[in-house]
Amino acid sequence: MKENWRTAVHGPWPYWVGAMVLGGLNILVLLVRKRPWGVTTNLQDWSVWFAHLLGLASERIPVSQLLLAEGTYLNLGVVLGALWAALAASQWRFRPLRQRKFGFSALIGGLFLGYGARIAYGCNVGGLLNGIASSSLTGWVFALAVFLGTWIGAKILLKFLV
């Protein structure tokens, strides 16, 4: 019992346990929100809000609307939950960039993944996992495209970064 508790707090959990817990929580999110868990729709709303501040977008999303959006708290929760998980195991620390090239790779990668997610209506969570969980054909097609993209990305990674 004590041993189990230690593993639960310190980890790592076996992958299948992670998958079952994530699956259960994913279903709970659907029950609470009446629509599935997603990440990038909310990021998009924040980006439009920020672009308006900079004068790059004409439409205005009031910040009160963003602060009352469920997606904001799901996303914030993921960050805080991971922070807590690291803290509970005394493993939290700031992890600086190891090399400058990883910074460029992160910025460019982020740009690509953000753009791709929004023109395809979803990321790995909203588009892939929950597209498929919603028994939508689009989810399966998106998964295939993401797999091919990952393959191309891995080639780029091997050529330029490792």
Partner 1 sequence: MNPMVKNQRYWNWAFMSAMFFFFLLLAQINWKLALNLGLGVGLGFALEKSRFCFVAAFRDPILTGMTALSQALILLLGVSILGFALVAGSGQGYALNVYPLGANTIVGGLLFGIGMVLAGGCASGILMRIGEGFAMQMLALAGALVGVFFGERSLRWWQGWGWEQPGIFLPAKLGWLSTLSLEMAVLVVLWLLARWWQNR
And the tokens for 7?
């593993």
| Crossing angle (nearest 10°) for helices 100-119 and 40-53 | 100
CB of 63 or CB of 111, closer to partner 1: 111
Rounded to the nearest whole angstrom, what is the least distance from the CB of residue 129 to partner 1 in the complex?
Answer: 6
Rounded to the nearest whole angstrom, what is the least distance from the CB of residue 1 to partner 1 in the complex?
Answer: 18
How many residues of this chain interact with partner 1, rule: CB under 8 A?
Answer: 123
Residue 54's alpha-carbon distances to 65, 66, 107, 118, in angstroms, are 19, 17, 20, 21
CB of 2 or CB of 99, closer to partner 1: 99
Binding mask 77-106 for partner 1 (x = CB under 8 A): xxxxxxxxxxxx-xxxxxxxx----xx-xx
Rounded to the nearest whole angstrom, what is the least distance from the CB of residue 159 to partner 1 in the complex?
Answer: 12
State which of positions 20-59 bind partner 1 (CB under 8 A).
20-40, 43-44, 46-48, 50-51, 56-57
Q: Note whether 66 binds partner 1 by CB under 8 A.
A: no
Q: Using alpha carbons only, how large is the chain's radius of gyration in Å?
A: 18
d(CA 82, CA 2): 23
Locus of tokens 């969980």: 133
Provide φ and ψ at 102, rounded to 5°: -70, -30
Q: Note whether 149 binds partner 1 by CB under 8 A.
A: yes
State which of positions 105-144 bind partner 1 (CB under 8 A).
105-144
d(CA 4, CA 161): 39
Q: Which of 4, 15, 64, 159 binds partner 1 (CB under 8 A)?
A: 15
